[in-house]
Amino acid sequence: MAPTSLKPVQELLQSGYVPETYIQKLEDDGPVPLMDSPIIDFSLLSSSNPEELKKLCSALSSWGCFQLVNHGIKSELLDEIREMSKQFFKLPLEEKEKYSSKGDSLEGYGNDNAIRRGNFNWNDKLHLQVFPHCKRQLQYWPEKPQIFRETLHDYSIKTELVTNVLLKAMSRSLKLEENRFFELWGDDKEDIIHARFNFYPRCPSSNQVVGLKAHTDGSAITILLQDKEIEGLQVLKDGQWFRVPIIPEALVIHVGDQLEIASNGIFKSPIHKVVINPQCDRISLAMLPLPNPEKEIGPLKELITEDRPQLYKRLKDYGQVYFKYMASEERQINVVKINN
pLDDT tens, position by position, 224-265: 999 999 999 999 999 999 999 999 999 999 999 999 999 999
170 near 146, Cβ under 8 Å? Answer: no
- Residues of the chain with pLDDT > 70, as a percent, come to 95
Could you tell me the pTM of the whole model?
A: 0.95
Per residue in 113-167, pLDDT (tens digit) is 656 666 799 999 999 999 999 999 999 999 999 999 999 999 999 999 999 999 9
Contacts for 86 with CB less than 8 Å, ≥ 6 apart? 281, 283
- Give the neighbor-by-neighbor strand order of the sheet with 212-215: 212-215, 272-274, 233-237, 240-243
Cis geometry, peptide bond prior to residue 145 (ω within 30 degrees of 0): yes
* Short-list 254, 237, 225, CA closest to 85: 225
The model's pLDDT over 71-83, given as tens digits with 9 standing for 90+, comes to 999 999 999 999 9
Q: What is the pLDDT of residue 186?
A: 63
Whole-number pLDDT of residue 339: 83
Q: Which of 185-189, 197-201, 290-294 has the lowest mean pLDDT?
A: 185-189
Residues 279-318: tens digit of each pLDDT? 999 999 999 999 988 899 999 999 999 999 999 999 999 9
Amino acid at 81: I
- Taken in order of first residue, the domains within the chain and their CATH numbers are 24-336 (2.60.120.330)
SS3 281: coil
Residue 120, Cβ neighbours under 10 Å: how many?
23
pLDDT in tens, 200-235: 999 989 999 999 999 999 999 999 999 999 999 999
* 3-state class (DSSP) for residue 219: coil
CB count within 10 Å of CB 94 equals 7
